[in-house]
Structure 1
Amino acid sequence: MKWENALKDYQMYLKIERGLSQNSIDNYSLDIRKLIKYLEAHNDAISPTDIKTESIQQFVYETAKNVNARSQSRIISGLRSFFNYLVFEDYRETNPLDLIESPKIGRKLPDTLSEEEIDKLIDAIDLSKPEGERNRAILETLYGCGLRVSELINLKLSDLFFDEGFIKVTGKGDKQRFVPIVEVTQKFINIYRSEIRNHLPIQSGHEDTLFLNRRGKQLTRAMIFTIIKQLAEKTGLKKSISPHTFRHSFATHLLQNNADLRSIQLMLGHESITTTEIYVHLDKSHLTKVIEQYHPRK
């Protein structure tokens, strides 16, 4: 069995049976391609059905010289998943990663912004330029609805149910959820739609896309990152932030204001409550207040 054939079969499995998005499939495939490239560089023509633990251990050892423990752990996890698939499909009897341990890493807590820092970033937007109103609506939507950047750029006009107070969001694996949207966020989206978007030369195929570039096409993930990076530099913010920082801040601020984890989980679109529970670790003072207010022996 050739590596490329095994990888294509695995990608199809991830898409059809696990329902992963193309972005997730690409991430899973990246480390397998690194292994393939490593074997080619060492003139090792061994197939995925015959490769032994020793060969993969050497690859991991060589890779570990250039990456941190967290990246090394991700590589091992990705390869383990690939070989588990080969075992499941009876291409192999054992997983060569079973004897390879991942490095122990601490749980990385996401960076967050304070309400003041978010206000400062939004206030720094130049509203004298056409893209200013769009960028303000983008940041308000990221923070106001807790969206992933992929969910934001794929948001449609037909996903807006402002009369009901919700937007329809298509998340990972094309799973859809309804997220509440407050009036202030609705206001800035409507300003952008009426004053900016309605005057753009909208390209064919993008008529229903909410946020557009000046050429009337869908924005890219990279463009959202750039907008936020430039605002951070403009305001002198020392934190390293991304679109995901607004999502983390959305969840953290809800928790700080006594929202329950289950509701936050639903709004974020997390499959497991354990993913949402990471926000509990962000603010220990909040937990102290909960104990003081609700425990019978306070």
Structure 2
Amino acid sequence: MAFSGLCEAYLDFCQGRFQPNTIRQKAFVFRSLVGFVRADFEAATLTTTTVEAFLAEQRQIRGPKAANRDLPDLKALYNWASRRGLTPVETARSIAMITSYPEERPRKYIPTAEDFNRVLMVAQGDERDLLLVLYHTAGRRGEIIERLTWEDVNFQNRFVRLHTRKRKGGSLEGRTIPMNQILHDVLWRRGQHRDQDSPFVFTSAKTGGRYSREAKKGMMTRLCHIAGVKPFTLHAIRHLVASILSDSHKASPRQIQAFLGHQRIDTTEHYLHEIRPMDNVVAMLEQPLTTESSTKSSTNNETEAV
């Protein structure tokens, strides 16, 4: 089977199983590989040497992170093909052995509550409402901007239903978030002036419907510049909320896990580990050594020497 035919069959299989943007990314990778080889080729003849040379070129052009994103798509293609007998199992195994490039992962910046409030003060209209809803639900960007509908808002029982595809296989799953008074007031006001032709809580003025994935891309850069604070992303608000809940000592890790919608507690712990300040730890070193502690230290050293 030709590589182009294999890709076409695989992308047909992906329809309905992955988000459209994911399928577009896969198609881009496959086209790029054909462009690198400069011709269509037999799918079974693809070698690790060719794939590694292709990834090396992508690394030079787009950087190691982009090249590392391309590799899993090629692995997934040949795993799928080998399971169906379309390509030899050995081809899939050899491609699976290719390793990713080392990356310098940028340090995540999490704003302070003061910086978030400064941005909130300069935001207006839909942008201010969006920030408030993101903050009071700890919702993911896509859960609020792309998927939150009025059917998900229950004023009588005071909760909202958020939906995410961040699950293995891309299944859409939901979780219930209670409404506090601020969230209730924001959504109630929006509901009174909603676009009756759109089911979405946040409706695109351009299309009259769902916001695209790229919507609001430059919003935070602009607002942070106006507010005079270090730029942070919409997703960083979610980290800020987790930080506030953790520092309050009024919410257990399991409660924070449920609120953030993590399937595994270790994901939540990773969040908290990233944001938990070390100030209280290093502050302990500023305390003067007491005579008692010095004596104990001396005694322990003598014991170890014996």
User: d(CA) in 2 for partners of 1:32 and 1:253?
Assistant: 44
Contact 2:123 2:223 in 1 (8 A): yes
Measure, in 2, the Cα distance between the counterparts of 1:230 and 1:265: 31
Contact 1:224 1:243 in 2 (8 A): no
- 1:48 to partner: Cα distance: 2.5
- Give how far 1:122 is off: 1.0
Among all aligned residue pairs of Structure 1 and Structure 2, give the percentage whose two residues are the same amino acid: 20
Structure-to-structure mapping, 1:4-23, within 5 angstroms: 4-15=4-15, 19-23=17-21
TM-score (norm 2): 0.76
Structure 2 distance, partners of 1:265, 1:28, is: 32
- Is 2:158 aligned against 1:165? yes
1:169 alignment partner, SS class? strand
Contact 2:148 2:201 in 1 (8 A): yes
Residue type at the aligned position of 2:6: A
Instruction: Supply the distance in 2 between the matched residues of 1:272 and 1:107 (Cα, whole angstroms).
Output: 23
Gaps of 5+ in 2: 166-170, 285-306
Query: Is this contact kept in 1: 2:3–2:40, CA < 8 A?
Result: no
Deviation at residue 28 of structure 1 after TM alignment: 4.0
Among candidates 126, 133, 140, match of residue 141 of structure 1 = 133
Task: Say whether 1:230 aligns with 2:222.
Answer: yes
Report the CA distance between 1:141 and its aligned residue: 1.0
Residue 276 of structure 1 pairs with residue 271 of structure 2: no
1:276 Cα deviation (Å)? 3.1
1:260 aligns to 2:260 (yes or no): no
Q: Residue 183 of structure 1: CA displacement?
A: 1.7
Q: Which runs of 4+ in 1 moved over 6 A?
A: 286-289
Residue in 1 aligned with 2:298?
Answer: none
Is the 2:164–2:173 Cα contact (8 Å) retained in structure 1?
A: yes
Contact 1:136 1:188 in 2 (8 A): no
Q: 1:66 to 1:13 in 2, by over 3 A?
A: same
SS of equivalent to 2:100: coil
Q: Give the SS at the match of 1:104.
A: coil
Equivalent position of 1:178 in the other structure: 176
- Residues 77 and 121 of structure 1: CA distance in aligned 2, closer, same or farther (over 3 Å): same
Q: Which amino acid aligns with 1:78?
A: D
Give the AA of the match of 1:72.
A
Q: Which moved more, 1:174-183 or 1:57-66?
A: 174-183
Partners of 2:2 and 2:183 in 1: how far apart? 51
> Which residue pairs with 2:289 in the alignment?
none
- 1:217/1:13 CA distance change after superposition, 3 Å: closer
Q: Measured at CA, do residues 70 and 274 of structure 1 come closer, stay the same or move farther in structure 2, by a change above 3 Å? A: farther
Could you say which structure has the larger radius of gyration? Answer: 2
Would the aligned equivalents of 2:253 and 2:268 in 1 still touch at CA under 8 Å?
yes
- More divergent stretch after superposition (222-231 vs 179-188): 222-231
Query: Equivalents in 1 of 2:141, 2:189: separation in Å?
Result: 21
Give the TM-score taking structure 1 as reference length: 0.78
Residue 57 of structure 2 is aligned to residue 88 of structure 1:
no
Deviation of 1:151 after TM superposition, in Å, equals 1.6
- Whole-Å separation in 1 of the counterparts to 2:22 and 2:266: 20
Other-structure match for 1:49: 44
The structural deviation recorded for 1:83 is 1.8
Distance 1:164 1:221 in 2: 30
Aligned to 1:265, the other structure's residue is in SS state helix
Cα separation, 2, equivalents of 1:237 and 1:90: 56
Q: Does residue 112 in structure 1 map to residue 110 in structure 2?
A: yes
- Cα 1:15/1:175, change in 2 over 3 Å: farther
Deviations 1:32-54 (A, max 9, x none): 33223322xxx333232321111
Q: Distance in 2 between matches of 1:124 and 1:263?
A: 32
Between the two proteins, the alignment pairs up a number of residues equal to 271
Q: Match of 1:73, SS?
A: helix
Distance change in 2, residues 1:44/1:220 (3 Å)? closer
